[in-house]
Structure 1
Amino acid sequence: MRIESKGGARYFVTFTDDYSRWTQTYLIRKKPEVASKFREYKNFVETQLERKIKAVQSDNGKEYCNKEMDKFFRDSGIQRRLTTVYSPQQNGLGERKNRTLVEAARCMLLESGLPASFWGEAIMTANHVRNRCISKSIDGDIPYKRWTGKSPDVSHLQIFGCKAYVLDKSTNRGKFDSKTVEGIFVGYSDYPKGYRVWIPSEQKIRISRDVKFFEEFESNEYEDIISSETLNGRFKLSDVLGNTDPSGRVDIDICGGENSLEETNAPTVNMQEIPLMQDFEEDEITGEIFTPDEEIEKMDDAIKTKRGPGRPRKILTGKVGRPKKQYHTIYNQNLPVVVDRSNIEPTSNEDPRYEEIDFVMAASEIPFSEAIHGADKDEWKDAILSEIKSLVINDTWDVVDKPVHAKVVGCRTVLRNKYAADGTLDRRKARVVAKGFTQRPGIDFHDTFAPVARLSSLRLLVALAARYNLKISQLDVTSAYLNGKIDTEVFMEKPALLQEMLQRIINEEDDHTLVKKARVMLRDLQGENKICRLRKALYGLRQAGRQWNYEIDKTMKRAGLVPTNADPCVYVDKNTRTFVLIYVDDILIISGNQERERQIKDVLSKAFRIKDFGLAKYCLGIQIEQNENEICLSQAGYIREILKRYRMEDCKPVLTPLAVGSKLSELHSEDDNEDTNFPFRELIGALMYVAVGTRPDVSHAVSVLSQFSNCYRKKHCTAAKRVLRYLKGTIDKKLIYRKNQDNLTCYVDADWANCEIDRRSYTGSTFILSGAAFSWESRKQRTVALSSTEAEYMALSDASKEAVFLIGYLKELGFQSLANVVVFNDNQGAGKLTENSVYHARSKHIDVRYHFIRDAVKKHPIKILYLPTEKMIADVLTKALPKENHDRCILGLGLQSDNTSAVT
């Protein structure tokens, strides 16, 4: 099928610079036009870049091997390299470039619903975008940046095929005629500068800079606009874009050898021409060609044959046909993105509440351009000023001229809102971060591991503080990572607004040292090709966390504190019963000795700039409430935020997180369709932090639901929302640690063969101290148990490993008297099995690793006791329970409201 582009082209040719990977693309009508396009490209390179092309590589096609081209190369002094027959691997760069552009164009046409005649616009747009994307082949750099020496501005990018309105500037427009013309966005124009918009009413493309875009426009609404172009259905894209299989014919041109642009003083070129019609020679195509629909169908069949019994069909990322397109704006802590969640099969019962879900993290990032041009721009610029001041005063970098062969790491300014414990806006926060993902292992960095404190360590120290009447104070290290010194030479781009902020420092600050440093830096920035040579471990560098950990560890030891082996981020002074927990730049000091606490703060303040918040109230998203004889931990603020995020603030509460008898793993029915409009994975991630933070009562529900992250259906989404409804009704529940003399106790349970998919059992265990749980686990066992006794025995073995760990931990912390554990379980057979090591035919198959508990009971102060099932509080960690049993269990876990009586 012969389908010309809108401009009449039947081919496209690309010229790729080997050093920068910048690609210039031209649409051509006939193959002989390649020669004129190459001359045009050569003139452009020599005029704009003042470089000479040294070599060109191509295949033996007639469009390259002819008298005209031979004479041109001889006269120009350009070396020509020809590939051998049937050796496309000699041109891997060009082959990959061809495949990338063609596949991108295919996806763009399918997604937009535009007819095949727009293939040329799709190819050109795909190339425009790819030139502005990070490329792994050039160590994470950007082709546009290497080609022009400037960072690309991508704020102009729009969704290909979206509805667009062009300002109509025609002089013959009537007074009451529309000022705009409706069209479809199909690409970008460099000459003249503007957007390319197809105007269906005029059957032509307009180029304009005055365009209003509506990216939410649905592709299936184009039917009326472009129906005239599809007489008998849509063209198959395989007939237009051809084969992208590597075994197909590829005409590639690579030149310049292995040297970079700076070394050769010339750009290298990749030239590629792909016929877009089905007029290939017989030897040009090998391998099978699939249409997009056929590919999806084959994927679907493959998945169906591998699916286990009872597990719902895995959700595909492709789609058949062109269903309704829905966009959800999702913000995470790194970058705001737009995710397309199209259904495999369009349904008529889509819930409109999901169409505009804002997934905003607690400290959600604000787009830089939006912040500095919005209503709060002064507040954001003040936050940026504060960050630049920290960087300048810490001597974070030196401004230098860019070395010839330097690998320069990019940077960006991350803007976030910081919230108080009650959810109100606390302050604006700006942070300059390096784009560490572009660093090269072994060159720009070596080791990267850096530990952080465990949440169970935080809860254990809180339990000990309540038991021994210790106070918890909180510190924050300002720009903590800037205190780490890097051990390699790293060059970085200048941060945005650096010169403006330096000028403000000079004009507004009274600190003479800071002003002097700002003057020097501003002076050094004069001129071109100025970059920053880092002296400190800036946020975002791969080694930054490790270098900061090295500095804080050295300071803690200088203060007379010793790190524990159980958790290297927990430091202890046994003589004064003082403990320090460090989670990156958040520091908690737990002590009853005010003088020792003051000494530690003095050492820290001399080494770093710190903020002293006094008694701890909010840390890591957890509220800490210190009262007389008790300390409470809760995540009420975080839960409210999740409810608001998913528009469940006014939902009707339920009494349990998981319905008794719910069959989430059974074979799905016809009316139980995929609910791909609901952000299931994001919700499970949010709930998981609640489950591991302060709410063990939802651990089992989250553990069960997380199994379906890649194959969830409507009932799983409903079950996940049920957890939210439960949290809404129990939002005031807190882990309350009280001053008492109870021993360390553990409750262990297993629900035999609970999972209907693989018949593995669930393990649940929790450790109680000071009246509340501080360590818990709810997970599926690794192997299938052949009896309830075996399942309970495996659960006891896993709990015993945690018990041995905690015994050693408490000894390190100086609490020898607490270093013994009573473990309760509700299966007498499993209890007997831990004491009796005699050979039994019914237990010989149990993995040796689970017999660890026998050795642990003999060597450590661990005692196994039987407890009736009706008193087993770990039940809530293994199964869904009715309200009465559920309430009894969570009360035993220490989860209470302010008006709840303590369990006796």
Structure 2
Amino acid sequence: MGPISLPALGGFRYVNKLVDEKTKWKETFLMKTKRDAIKALQLFNQSLVVPTRFRLDCLRGDKGTECTCREFREYCLQIGAKLEYASTNTPQQMGANERAGRTLAAMVRCILTDSGLPQFLWGQLMQTAAYLSNRVPHAALGNITPYKALYGKDANLGHLRAIGARAFVHVETHTRNLDSKVWESRIVNFIETPYARQDLTPSNMAGNDEVGLRSSTRVPDHAGMRSTAKVDKPSLTNQSGRDTAVKPKTIRELRRLALYTDTPLADVGHREERFDFLEYAFVANNTQIHGRSEGEKVKTIPNTCKKAMELPETKLWKAATDKEIKSLQDLKVYKLVPRTDVPLGHNVIGSKWVFKVKPENTHKARLVAKGWNQVPGRDCGGTFAPVCRLQSIRMVFAIAAEKDLDVIQLDVKTAFLYADIEENVFVEMAPGYEAKNMEELQLVMKLEKSLDGLAQSPQDWLKTIDSSLVEIGFFPLKSDTCVYIYDHNNTVVVLTLYVDDLLIIRGGAHHQPGNYTTSILDRFGMGSCKPLSTAGFGPELSVKQPEETLLNAEGKQRYQAIIGSVMYLAQVTRYDIMYCASQFARAMSNPSKIHMGAAKHLLRYLSGSRDFSITYKRGGFDLTASSNANGGHNTDNGKSMSSYIMMMSTAPASLKSGLQSLTAMSTVEAELVASALAMKEVIFCTNMMKELGFGSEFSSAPLFIDSTATLNVIGNQTFSGHTKHMALRFFYIRKIVKEGRISIHYIPTEDNLADIGTEYLNKQRHQYLIDKIKNFGK
């Protein structure tokens, strides 16, 4: 059905109708082009036919290209559906489908007339019409509904309301007692869940901790928008009587503009993850309110050179690409050779532009190679990236605090372009800069230096900077080869290498990721959410949740993005969330709605603790370790959580929380596994500090454990029937303790710092451990 002259919300111009001949069940799918018919059929089969345990025996359609194309016929063959075509210009042979189309279209016209909704919502209303039609008695079925014919039971109609009726969305953005807690909206559509509706809401959702925004790239025609309510329409003209730009300054004004004017407004949609239904808001003049200052235009970032040249900012993008090409030429990154000079068997790797707008509104372009086309051993060697351990960086901060040294951070711009390349690598010329020689032969780039996107670029960069550092007197540590030390003529410099970021110490050091925390909250629409005082969502969450509660593809991607961002925070400085981050990460492959709720709970906690930091101070320049295990609390496999935390210069230098790889048969074994992991980390830390010249302070380190049974087992030189299967760990621990590199001590559970990474803690206990860590050594 289509094309329809006025695009529906989302840019849809076609409707695919599918009618079951036996039950008269109707399904409608919105399509942007006829080519999407195959996707509509796949969705119909997977969402309706398969779950109801039926099989699609026969599919009857017309001879349109959408039904006769090879992909459509192959899919029908794959699912075992017989494909029949109606004769040309004989719609009578598809009477049920044609009649359904006319019925649904008539219902949509009636709903639009009665509700006063804008005409661009015809797509959503078409789905509403099909939804209602499936719940209305059908004469061909003996006056039973298609719903009952398909599912064998009557449909629940208690959730139905008049289309276009007022609805109110509950939010938590109010700041004063008398502020409104709801946003007014209009009902547009229904879904199967009786308590969830699709609403048309013109409210700005920025700051709502339950939803996020995504901007539409199309501005629909809202000429059909009108209202029968008796309200004062806002003025849209200036003193000269000419139309002026609509710039709403408040949520109330935005509501009135969206519902009661004919001014074209851009649509902004967001998804409510708990119920899986769409809601829509409107923002004037293509201005994205969420996450941006008022009046700031939405920036369109092109993904190809061709699209960049079609945008209003063409001159800015062209200047950026010209600057990048000139930089490559100045650094002699490549030389041009005819394509015929490429040796037989070598690939010519593609190239592409990556565009970005910096916060200071600078347009930046970077030419990258499509390295995924490289062949190992031919045009690509090793792929090792020089990344020092986070523990090393924290210990460098501790050294700087203790010795009152300067901390300098450096970023090597276009680092890979300085690295020589060993293999013969040929890359296509940058899009938009293709060239030929005098013989009209196409030219390609033969790389003399590395280029972003190549698999070997990080390792080539390591070889380049390593040789340069060694030449001026630095040498890498054995414990962490990405940490270098310079010790000549009473001058000591420590340098850490994290790809192209360098950290040099040469006073108290302060490591605070506040800006990063704020960027995470803004990215996921939680910048103005109501903060919480605890990070945990409750006891262990199972990764096995009911199938109907699992997130869709979009929700899954959003959950993975949230947890990925939070995991970095937990590994760097936020020891207060490392248990939650580790627990939520286990559901990354198949998250459910309860996991999404827990992730948002964690973001609300971060919102109230943006200034959380690790501060290293002079004094306490030694290593103190604590370990703990929770004893088989995982509900899915009975495994235990291990946690350790190493304190140095009154702040954490190393920290970790994670699920043990084995299933411990007792709490003693779980504690023993945790202490063994902590001991290995202590050995790494002490080895590094000895290499840096601090051997006397780190010749031995204490490890605190809150299990007396574990202490007794470690001190016992014999094995019993309960412990002989743990002999290998005993040998390792006893060797370290016997050598005097680690001493074992008992600590009460309430004072064990590692307890913050093993289980959910209430508000008081959680804050007690944070205060104890921050005031360590006092």
TM-score (norm 2): 0.62
| Corresponding residue for residue 410 of structure 2 | 475
Cα distance change of structure 1 residues 762 and 351 upon mapping to structure 2, 3 Å threshold: farther
Q: Distance in 2 between matches of 1:772 and 1:827?
A: 24
Q: Which secondary structure state, in structure 1, belongs to the residue aligned with residue 391 of structure 2?
A: helix
Contact in 2 for aligned 1:633/1:736 (Cα 8 Å): yes
Match of 2:756 among 871, 876, 884: 876
Q: Distance in 2 between matches of 1:710 and 1:122?
A: 35
Match of 2:562 among 683, 697, 705: 683
Alpha-carbon shift at residue 701 of structure 1 (Å): 0.3
> What is the 5 A alignment of 1:389-408?
389-403=326-340, 405=344, 407-408=347-348
| Corresponding residue for residue 589 of structure 1 | 504
Cα distance change of structure 1 residues 348 and 434 upon mapping to structure 2, 3 Å threshold: closer
Cα distance change of structure 1 residues 525 and 468 upon mapping to structure 2, 3 Å threshold: farther
Cα distance change of structure 1 residues 124 and 222 upon mapping to structure 2, 3 Å threshold: farther
| Corresponding residue for residue 110 of structure 1 | 42
| Corresponding residue for residue 410 of structure 1 | 350
Q: Which secondary structure state, in structure 2, belongs to the residue aligned with residue 449 of structure 1?
A: coil
Q: Distance in 2 between matches of 1:902 and 1:792?
A: 23
Q: Distance in 2 between matches of 1:330 and 1:860?
A: 59
Q: Distance in 1 between matches of 2:387 and 2:313?
A: 34
Contact in 2 for aligned 1:112/1:219 (Cα 8 Å): no
Q: Distance in 1 between matches of 2:275 and 2:625?
A: 50
> For each residue in 1:467-526, what CA deviation from the matched residue of structure 2 results, as whole angstroms up to 9, or x when unmatched?
111111122223111122222222211113437xxxxxxxxxxxxxxxxxxxxxx89588
Cα distance change of structure 1 residues 393 and 860 upon mapping to structure 2, 3 Å threshold: farther
Q: Distance in 2 between matches of 1:524 and 1:330?
A: 47
Contact in 1 for aligned 2:419/2:461 (Cα 8 Å): yes
Cα distance change of structure 1 residues 402 and 776 upon mapping to structure 2, 3 Å threshold: same
Match of 1:718 among 588, 597, 619: 597
Structure 1: gaps spanning 5 or more residues: 1-5, 7-102, 128-199, 202-213, 233-319, 332-339, 419-423, 500-521, 592-628, 895-900
1:121 aligned partner, one-letter code: E
Alpha-carbon shift at residue 400 of structure 1 (Å): 1.6
Q: Distance in 2 between matches of 1:347 and 1:803?
A: 44
Match of 2:532 among 643, 654, 657: 654
Q: CA RMSD in A?
A: 4.3
The answer to whether 1:840 aligns with 2:717 is no
Alpha-carbon shift at residue 217 of structure 1 (Å): 6.0
Cα distance change of structure 1 residues 116 and 681 upon mapping to structure 2, 3 Å threshold: farther
Q: Distance in 2 between matches of 1:354 and 1:526?
A: 58
Cα distance change of structure 1 residues 447 and 883 upon mapping to structure 2, 3 Å threshold: same
> What is the 5 A alignment of 1:781-792?
781-792=660-671
> What is the 5 A alignment of 1:315-326?
none
1:400 aligned partner, one-letter code: V
Contact in 2 for aligned 1:220/1:324 (Cα 8 Å): no
Number of matched residues?
Answer: 545
Match of 2:480 among 543, 550, 567: 567
Q: Distance in 2 between matches of 1:859 and 1:525?
A: 75
Alpha-carbon shift at residue 798 of structure 1 (Å): 0.9
Alpha-carbon shift at residue 417 of structure 1 (Å): 3.5
| Corresponding residue for residue 454 of structure 1 | 389
| Corresponding residue for residue 654 of structure 2 | 775
> For each residue in 1:722-746, what CA deviation from the matched residue of structure 2 results, as whole angstroms up to 9, or x when unmatched?
1101100111111111111342111
> For each residue in 1:845-890, what CA deviation from the matched residue of structure 2 results, as whole angstroms up to 9, or x when unmatched?
2252464211111225211111111111111100111122211222
| Corresponding residue for residue 367 of structure 1 | 303
Q: Distance in 1 between matches of 2:415 and 2:438?
A: 26
Cα distance change of structure 1 residues 669 and 563 upon mapping to structure 2, 3 Å threshold: closer
The answer to whether 1:388 aligns with 2:333 is no
Q: Which secondary structure state, in structure 1, belongs to the residue aligned with residue 410 of structure 2?
A: strand
> For each residue in 1:130-155, what CA deviation from the matched residue of structure 2 results, as whole angstroms up to 9, or x when unmatched?
xxxxxxxxxxxxxxxxxxxxxxxxxx
Cα distance change of structure 1 residues 697 and 347 upon mapping to structure 2, 3 Å threshold: closer
> What is the 5 A alignment of 1:171-320?
221=127
Alpha-carbon shift at residue 703 of structure 1 (Å): 0.8
Q: Distance in 1 between matches of 2:414 and 2:734?
A: 49
Cα distance change of structure 1 residues 412 and 893 upon mapping to structure 2, 3 Å threshold: farther
Percent identity between the aligned chains? 30
| Corresponding residue for residue 380 of structure 2 | 445
Cα distance change of structure 1 residues 480 and 758 upon mapping to structure 2, 3 Å threshold: same
2:383 aligned partner, one-letter code: T
Structure 2: gaps spanning 5 or more residues: 3-34, 46-58, 73-103, 106-119, 139-191, 200-210, 216-268, 283-287, 293-298
| Corresponding residue for residue 420 of structure 2 | 485
> What is the 5 A alignment of 1:816-835?
816-819=695-698, 820-835=700-715
Match of 2:736 among 841, 849, 856: 856
Contact in 2 for aligned 1:789/1:829 (Cα 8 Å): yes
Contact in 2 for aligned 1:325/1:341 (Cα 8 Å): no
Contact in 1 for aligned 2:657/2:757 (Cα 8 Å): yes
Q: Distance in 1 between matches of 2:574 and 2:438?
A: 52
Match of 2:519 among 641, 663, 668: 641
Alpha-carbon shift at residue 759 of structure 1 (Å): 1.2
Q: Which secondary structure state, in structure 1, belongs to the residue aligned with residue 503 of structure 2?
A: strand
Contact in 1 for aligned 2:61/2:67 (Cα 8 Å): no
> For each residue in 1:756-783, what CA deviation from the matched residue of structure 2 results, as whole angstroms up to 9, or x when unmatched?
2111111010111111112111011122
Cα distance change of structure 1 residues 537 and 216 upon mapping to structure 2, 3 Å threshold: farther
Q: Distance in 2 between matches of 1:126 and 1:354?
A: 37
The answer to whether 1:632 aligns with 2:545 is no
Contact in 1 for aligned 2:212/2:524 (Cα 8 Å): no
Q: Which secondary structure state, in structure 1, belongs to the residue aligned with residue 387 of structure 2?
A: coil
Q: Distance in 1 between matches of 2:508 and 2:421?
A: 44
2:542 aligned partner, one-letter code: S
- Higher mean C-alpha deviation, range 558-567 or range 710-719: 710-719
Q: Distance in 1 between matches of 2:768 and 2:338?
A: 69
Q: Distance in 2 between matches of 1:494 and 1:219?
A: 49
Q: Distance in 2 between matches of 1:551 and 1:373?
A: 40
Alpha-carbon shift at residue 112 of structure 1 (Å): 8.6
